[in-house]
């Protein structure tokens, strides 16, 4: 059973527009949540990590929130650029050590058009 | 330059042939991982290595084996490859005590088994 669900599955926006990606999960315990960006044919690159209840993070045009009670996270991308075209993957860790496991969502494919 | 490397990047094999995928890291990470990524699915953990000759099965180990003789190298071996092992394989590494929160990913190896 999939423990990390992402929506939408895919999204097309025009350059300059904002977008919001959603992540719902059922992983327990939920130690932390990380958003990755995966360019086509490349590996995963970390964007931000959220650890605490009601955490909010900001990394340039990327910002994220975490609601541990609802087991829900959002990733906001502001003023999208063509280079933002990629798959964004939500990952939930069930422990803060190498003994824990990462639970991966299937990703949201974002396409930014001119 | 902190990075995870994978070789080869692309590989085509016939069913029944043996496959060797190599991974290297220059960050002195104790823990290394092998994942596979299939369309519509999140990354799935095949094997995890906590250090030299200290390997554990992940969620989908069947049909795979691993070797870790040096801390900086982690190999994934497919003995008699099957067509359903066609996938993109990712290697990752982390410090033991920071495990799931800070995994660094390689660029991936795209394996096709005909």
- Convert the pLDDT of each residue in A26-52 to its tens digit: 999 888 999 999 999 889 999 999 988
Which pLDDT belongs to residue A97? 66
Residue B113 scores a pLDDT above 80: yes
Residue A96 scores a pLDDT above 70: no
* Per-residue pLDDT tens digits for B6-42: 999 999 999 999 999 999 999 999 999 999 999 989 8
Tell whether B30 lies on the interface with A, counting CB pairs under 8 A. Answer: yes
Among partner residues A94, A98, A103, which is closest to B96 by beta-carbon distance? A98
- A47 contacts in chain B (CB < 8 Å): none
Q: Where do runs of H (alpha helix) occur along chain B?
A: none
Among partner residues B98, B105, B110, which is closest to A44 by beta-carbon distance? B105
State the pairing for strand pair A108-113/A102-104. Answer: unpaired
Region of residue A101 (phi > 0: left; psi between -120 and 50: alpha; otherwise: beta)? beta
Q: Report residue B101's pLDDT band, with 50, 70 and 90 as the boundaries.
A: low
In DSSP terms, A7 is beta-bridged to A22
């Amino acid at each position: 059973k999939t423990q990390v669900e992402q929506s939408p599955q895919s999204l097309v926006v025009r350059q300059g527009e904002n977008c919001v990606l959603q992540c719902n999960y059922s992983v327990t315990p939920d130690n932390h949540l990380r958003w990755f960006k995966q360019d086509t044919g490349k590996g995963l690159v970390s964007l931000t990590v959220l650890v605490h209840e009601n955490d909010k993070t900001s990394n340039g045009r990327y910002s994220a929130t975490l609601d541990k009670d609802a087991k829900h996270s959002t990733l906001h991308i502001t003023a999208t650029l063509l280079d933002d075209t990629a798959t964004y993957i939500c990952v939930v860790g069930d422990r803060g050590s190498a003994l824990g496991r990462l639970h991966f969502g299937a990703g949201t494919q974002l396409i930014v058009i001119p | 330059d902190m990075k995870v490397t994978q070789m080869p990047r692309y590989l085509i094999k016939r069913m029944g042939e043996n496959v060797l995928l190599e991974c290297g890291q220059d960050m002195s990470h104790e823990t290394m991982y092998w994942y596979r990524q299939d369309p519509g699915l999140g990354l799935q953990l095949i094997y995890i290595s906590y250090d030299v000759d200290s390997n554990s099965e992940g969620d989908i180990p069947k049909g795979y084996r691993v070797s870790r003789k040096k801390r900086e190298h982690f190999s994934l071996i497919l003995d008699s490859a099957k067509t359903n092992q066609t996938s993109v394989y990712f290697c990752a590494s982390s410090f033991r005590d920071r495990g799931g929160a800070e995994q660094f990913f390689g660029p991936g190896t795209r394996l096709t088994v005909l």
